[in-house]
């Protein structure tokens, strides 16, 4: 009886962890997609590139302050927004390497 109870709890826990990991990966990929959109739109008009960069940096700093102010706080929405931020940073880095080559 005890063994069955433990396996049920562990399977639910693992299922929740896989859902959480899938959500993180989707947010990273969506952030990468948003970075591609931001770099493409700001490249079309030369005068918006400085404003777009300022908005991206402000967004990055505000989210970093909210997430890393209390590292023990494990709110799911903050984790999702942080993964979106990481995806945007990664996407802009990849776009910079594409432009540099």
- Phi, psi torsion values for 75, nearest 5 degrees: -75, 135
Looking at the 3D structure of the chain, how many domains does it have? 1
For the stretch 50-61, pLDDT in tens is 777 788 889 888
For the stretch 1-49, pLDDT in tens is 444 444 444 455 556 777 778 888 888 898 899 888 887 776 676 667 7
Domain assignment present for 14 = no
Domain assignment present for 37 = yes
Domain assignment present for 6 = no
Range(s) of the domain holding residue 89: 22-100
Domain assignment present for 47 = yes
Domain assignment present for 68 = yes
Domain assignment present for 60 = yes
Domain assignment present for 59 = yes
Domain assignment present for 95 = yes
Q: Are 67 and 11 in contact (CB under 8 A)?
A: no
């Amino acid at each position: 009886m005890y063994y069955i109870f433990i396996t049920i709890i562990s399977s639910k826990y693992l299922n929740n962890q896989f859902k959480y990991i899938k959500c993180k990966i989707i947010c990273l990929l969506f952030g990468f997609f948003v970075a591609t959109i931001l770099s493409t739109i700001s490249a079309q008009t030369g005068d918006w590139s400085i404003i777009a960069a300022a908005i991206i940096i402000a967004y990055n700093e505000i989210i970093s302050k909210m997430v890393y102010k209390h590292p023990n706080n494990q709110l799911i929405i903050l984790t999702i927004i942080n993964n979106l931020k990481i995806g945007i940073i990664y996407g802009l880095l990849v776009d910079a390497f594409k432009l540099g080559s």
